[in-house]
Amino acid sequence: MKNTIKVQRAIKGLTQEELAQKTSVSRQTINAMEANKYVPSTVLALKIAKVFNIPVEELFILEKND
Amino acid sequence: MSNKLLLPNRYKTIGWYIFIPATILGIILLFTDFESFPINAKVFAVFNEELLGKGGSFNIIQTNITPTVVGILFIMGAMLVSFSREKTEDEFIARLRQSSLLWAVFVNYVLLLIAFAFIYGMAFLDVMIYNMFTILIIFIIRFNYILYRNSKEMPNEKYNQSAASY
């Protein structure tokens, strides 16, 4: 699975720290997700989508081998 | 993952202040056959068995309590460090905690297996002494190392860079 968090963040002009605060997680978590090292829980995925005001499917995209 | 078992974050700092001196003292004790800085004191023993001679249970005995004190401090310090929340204890940290615990138990028993196979006689007593503490030690090293490595991988963000966009 890949995600577009970094791109969405750039569009909104948010830093990792700001996105972390808005979703009440640590900056480490945002960074790990952007580096594809961590797949978030459904709750966190929905929270991030809400911050960017887009559907989750636009934020997280399944890949062939998933 | 619910983490009701974890202490507030400030206990981690307190833990380090106990854990580090206790580790140093513990290492000194290990290398001096538990005979440095003896403190003789009367303690209550639920069970006591001497190598030669009589033992007993539920009695007051006179003994060197330095290894006892250092061991207790070490375990208390290590538990505080291991089982305190991070500043933001979120799902990623919780998963890291879980995987580090799994890792620590696994590595601990692999080391013990090797020790069982290759260490004999009185030397095995030393293995047992080390083994009392290795799960906590491996957990602390693994968990904090990965936290540190992840924080180093984070790009440096200028905070005011995005403040302008609001």
Q: A28 by DSSP, 3-state: which? A: helix
Beta strands in B10-145 (DSSP E): 40-48, 56-64
Task: Determine the Cα–Cα distance for residues B56 and B49; give it in Å rounded to an integer.
Answer: 6
Task: Determine the Cα–Cα distance for residues B77 and B144; give it in Å rounded to an integer.
Answer: 15
* pLDDT tier at B2, thresholds 50, 70, 90: low
Give residue B4's pLDDT: 78
B3: chain A residues, CB-CB within 8 Å: none
What totals of helices (H) and strands (E) does chain B contain, helices first? Answer: 5, 2
Max mean pLDDT among B28-42, B88-102, B149-163 falls in: B88-102
pLDDT less than 70: residues of chain A: none
Does A15 contact chain B (CB < 8 Å)? yes
Mean pLDDT of chain A: 92
The minimum CA-CA distance between B4 and chain A, rounded to whole Å, is 18
Task: Determine the Cα–Cα distance for residues B129 and B83; give it in Å rounded to an integer.
Answer: 22
Inter-helix orientation angle B123-153/B91-118, to 10°: 150
Q: How far is CA B3 from CA A24, A29, A36, B90, B142, in A?
A: 16, 17, 25, 10, 19
Q: B42 by DSSP, 3-state: which? A: strand
Decide: B153 and A35 in contact? Cβ < 8 Å.
yes
Give residue B162's pLDDT: 47
In chain B, helix, strand, coil percent, each to 5? 60, 10, 25
Contact B87/A31, CB-based, under 8 Å?
Answer: no
Give residue B164's pLDDT: 45
**pTM confidence score:** 0.85
Contact A31/B150, CB-based, under 8 Å?
Answer: yes
Amino acid (one-letter) located at A11: I
Task: Nearest by CB to B88, from A16, A26, A31: name it.
Answer: A26
* pLDDT tier at B158, thresholds 50, 70, 90: low
